[in-house]
Every structure is written in C-alpha cells, then in structure tokens.
Amino acid sequence: MARTLFEKIIAREVPANIVFEDDSVCAFRDINPQAPTHILIVPKKPIPRLGEAKAEDQSVLGHLLLQAAEVAARAGLDKTGYRLVINHGPDAGESVPHLHVHILGGRHMKWPPG
C-alpha cells in the first residue's frame, strides 16, 4: 500500500513546517489553513482513521490528544480557546487517510460547524 502524505512528511520526504515532534506524534502547520492557527498533529503509527484504531492503539490515541493540548498551549491558543477536529471519511472532509487532529484557533469559532 502506498504511503500517505503524512507518512512522507514524518519521513522528511515532503517538506512541512513542523512545530512539534516526539517518538509518537508529529505536528505541523496545515498548508490550507482554515483559521489563523491551523496545526495538524498525527500519530507516527499509520492508523487510517479513528474508527480503524485498535485496542492496542489506546496509549497512542491518549498521547495524541494530550500533545494536541500541549501544541495548542505552545501556540498561545489556551488563553482564548481552540477547537480540535477529527474527520472520519470523505463526507466529513477527510482528505488524507491517516488519523490526524486539526488544532484550530486564533478566531471565534461558530457552532454548529460546517
């Protein structure tokens, strides 16, 4: 199976503005931002989407969310608020089949979304 764009970013085969990385996750700025701050954080383990995660992925999923909050705080979004978004499938707007969390902030968010 071909590697996803995010796997290529993690491997440094495709350039990205990486803002955080550890052994389990990588966070980088979205190339098509939907807010003044739009960062994607992805697990390094290729999990196509949340609905395909397994029980053994529990620790990486928890780490992903904890690091999303840390990345948001480092970007100064914890002071005014931010939104985390996980899309699942094409109808939800998923364009890369690799689980990722959108960190959106820097403007007022409307409800309901999209």
Number of Cβ within a 10 Å radius of residue 105 = 22
Tell me which amino acid residue 15 is: P
Which of 38, 100, 102, 108 is catalytic? The answer is 100
**65: Cα within 13 Å, side-chain hemisphere:** 9
Q: Residue 102 catalytic?
A: no
Task: Report CA-CA distances (Å) from 99 to 38, 57, 76, 106.
Answer: 16, 12, 24, 23
* Nearest Cα to Cα of residue 29 among 42, 45, 11: 42
Return the SS3 of 78.
helix
Residues annotated as catalytic are: 100
